[in-house]
Amino acid sequence: MCMNTAGMFISYLSDRAQRQAFLETRRCIEARLRLETENQRQ
């Protein structure tokens, strides 16, 4: 029982870290696209 709970907790932390990394990557790509669009307008 304890190992199952520990496994779930580790899985939760891993999933959370992956989501955070994905969101950071997405923000970076959005910022780059925004900059490219602004540069094309000038």
Note the pLDDT tens digit of each residue in 17-40.
Answer: 999 999 999 999 999 999 999 999
Residue 38 CA to its chain's centroid (Å):
25
DSSP state of 40: H
pLDDT at 18: 98
Signed CA dihedral, 32, 34, 35, 39: sign only: positive
Name the token pair of 17.
């870290």
Name the token pair of 14.
């891993």
pLDDT at 1: 74
pLDDT at 37: 96
List Cα–Cα distances, 35 to 17, 24, 28, 30, 31, in angstroms. 27, 17, 11, 9, 6
